[in-house]
Amino acid sequence: MADGGQFGPYQLGIPAGASLAERLSGRLSRLGIHYAWVMLVLTFMTMLATSAAMGMAGVLMRPLEGQFGWTSGAVSGAMALRLVLYGLTGPFAAALMMRYGLRRAICAALGCITAGLLLITHMTGLWQLYVFWGVFVGFGTGMTAIVLGATVAGNWFGRRRGLAIGIMATAAASGVLGFIPISAWIAEHIGWRVSVVPPIALCSLAFVLVALLARDHPSELGLPAYGEIIVMSPPLRRTGAARLSFDALKHVLPTRSFWVLIVGYAICGFTTNGLMQTHFIPLLQDHGILEAAAADVFAMMAVFDFVGAIAAGYLTDRYDPRKLLLLYYLVRGAVLMLLPLSGFSDWQLGLFGALYGLGWIAPVPPTIRLNADSFGAARGPLVFGWLFAGHQLGAAVAALGAGMLRDAMGTYTPAFVFGGALCLVAGGTALLLPRGARLVFGSASATPAVMAEAASVAVPMAAE
């Protein structure tokens, strides 16, 4: 961590009246530790807390159906609404962070999630589930999703960006996978209303730490980005978050890279947040497996997800991300199609948990790198917001569609087999990206096809 470049002169001493973040940065600089790693930890905690809240979907479905008499399709509708808003917030999350700053945006989002979780414990009607879970939790989790990780990595890391994204991405799945067993046990033995306490506690802790320690840009602490030498001024805070987001979309819509990336990422969302996160536990319950035991498979996935996500970040910095996406999606598709055809024995579920866990978040680092390389540092976070929207719209289709299929056919098998087949499509589309591992504007190593796409995006940027 000491090789992250020089520290600014501001860091040579700690001025009187310095904030807690400034004091911590000064002490860390004397140890050769860049404050970017503090921001990584804070972002990790935020994404862990919000993903733990998202993981409540699978835990709550059966208890809500049992207590209120709601159908799987009715409850799935609220879960799908949350996923839709979760995704649609993405294109504007990066712009809102640019406008109001990381710290304000994160704290507002964490407050919204906490309020939604508290309110669902007092609901009495289905419409309240749609408002408290679908709207409150949907908006808050959308603001603190992987778009946040991509923005922090872009602001704070000049080097080791792939590794940083890989570490932060583990939180997005580890919160879901790691806290489902805890909440499922509480729901089964104490009650579903108490099961929301762990994510509420995590969100509250993250809120306090972010409010005290987070900073929007390294220059606020007199620092260059990690791995850089020059202290760069923060970008101007521009008004009109919606205009910024739609301008970015307008300029990338004609490019093949955008469509390839968004199709693949929508299928990624279909098979993770939509299908697995919402319907995996009910699938196992259909085969006589208790909720707590089903949640144990998620715990196994969490362990392998942590390893897989960090490995994916490491590999993304060194190998062709297109080929990595092909590998990840082929493995995911195969295990999804085989799962409903298995006997659901302990060893089969264990093998499934290990393979699916390794690849749960693995497509994220190569997708983020391909997005950044294709569309540049200035527009990349905004474009990734639209990719994230596609991811969550795919998830919403799976969350609602799988529930409706289960009501109509009495089984989840068609939904899981279809999800596996879509993964094979996602793997194939990755190879349709323009050849040339680095798509950076003006790169001497880029192929003519890459340069043509780069020019179509770069020219409008230069004119702004």
- Between CA 221 and CA 34 the distance in angstroms is 11
**pLDDT value at 24 more than 80:** yes
> 200 or 3: whose pLDDT is higher?
200
Q: What is residue 238's predicted lDDT score, i.e. its pLDDT?
A: 55
Average pLDDT over residues 58-78: 82
Q: What is residue 177's predicted lDDT score, i.e. its pLDDT?
A: 65
- CATH no. for 9-433: 1.20.1250.20
**pLDDT value at 456 more than 50:** no
Query: How many C-alpha atoms does 4 have within 13 Å on its Cβ side?
Result: 25
Q: What is residue 111's predicted lDDT score, i.e. its pLDDT?
A: 93
**pLDDT value at 464 more than 60:** no
**pLDDT value at 33 more than 50:** yes
> 393 or 233: whose pLDDT is higher?
393
Domains of the chain, residue spans: 9-433
**What Å distances lie between residue 315 and 17, 144, 365, 464, CA to CA?**
43, 25, 9, 35
**pLDDT value at 249 more than 50:** yes
Each residue's pLDDT tens digit, 294-353: 777 877 887 788 788 888 888 887 888 889 999 999 999 999 999 888 888 888 888 888
> How would you write 75-124 as a 3-class SS string?
HHHHHHHHHHHHHHHHHHHHHHHHHHCHHHHHHHHHHHHHHHHHHHCCCC
Q: Give me 9's structure tokens.
A: 């002169």
Residue-averaged pLDDT of the chain: 80
Q: What is residue 84's predicted lDDT score, i.e. its pLDDT?
A: 80
Query: How many C-alpha atoms does 149 have within 13 Å on its Cβ side?
Result: 32
